[in-house]
Amino acid sequence: MQIIKPLFALFCAHLAIASPITTNGHPSVELTERAPPPPSDALKKWNDEKGVPGNALTEGLHIFKAKYPRDEVKDQGLSDLIKEARNFLDANHYVLVSVEVKQKERGPPKKKEKYLDVGDVKFFDIAVDKDGKVKSNKEGATYNFAKAEEDKVEHQYLKKLGGKVKSFTGITPVGKEYVSQHETYDPKTNNCMTFVDEVAKDLN
């Protein structure tokens, strides 16, 4: 028995050194982090937009600021108020875009691969009535990324949501609150861009 005990102790010590499992968070042993699922082609396009952290959107809900380039040809029939705002902003319009990123699976049943894909993509903005009053316009309408590319729309990443707002439906009430508190349109201080900036600030 005196020989067996030292051998058994040596065997246990060898197992402790070779084991890749962290015990009680011991700093000497690190677990290998899993790589995130690869993005779909549709998600890669959003990942390439301006300001996306690490060029990789993670699972959840993200918001972007979309700027439509200035085009005076499209001013025909618009009020002087809108034309003034467009010239001040050097843009035809701004909208808030929400992009949902979801984890999915693809491949044959026995070799399923997880990947990240784009879910619902919606947009929100304001309009102005004939009396110069602000009104909600699009409240979660489907956003066409391909059309936005054609129109040379610039997308600026703002932030990831996930506190109180976990889906695009949670953005509409915040937009309505902005409209109720900013009733009169102003080309410089209460326009489509201030709507996007202020609503984004209040979302979390």
Residue 19 lies in a domain: no
Q: What is the pLDDT of residue 3?
A: 47
- Is residue 101 within a helix (H) or strand (E), and if so which, with residue range? strand 91-106
Domain range for 70 is: 41-202
Backbone angles phi, psi at 198, to 5 degrees: -70, -40
Q: What is the pLDDT of residues 35-94, one digit of tens each?
A: 889 999 999 999 999 999 999 999 999 999 999 999 999 999 999 999 999 999 999 999
Q: What is the pLDDT of residue 23?
A: 43
Residue 14 lies in a domain: no
- 8 belongs to a structural domain: no
Which of 6-20, 77-91, 122-136, 142-156 bottoms out in mean pLDDT, i.e. has the lowest?
Answer: 6-20
Length of the chain: 204
In a domain, 143, yes or no: yes
- 8-45 pLDDT, tens digit each: 454 444 444 444 444 455 554 444 567 889 999 999 99
Report yes or no on whether pTM surpasses 0.95: no
Q: Is residue 152 part of a domain?
A: yes
- Do 152 and 49 form a contact (C-beta atoms < 8 A)? no
Cβ(57)–Cβ(64) below 8 Å: no
**Direct distance between the N- and C-terminal alpha carbons of the chain, in angstroms, rounded to an integer:** 66
Residue 11 within any structural domain of the chain: no
Give the chain's radius of gyration (CA, Å): 26
Q: How many domains does the chain have?
A: 1
Q: Check: CB of residue 149 under 8 Å from CB of residue 142.
A: no
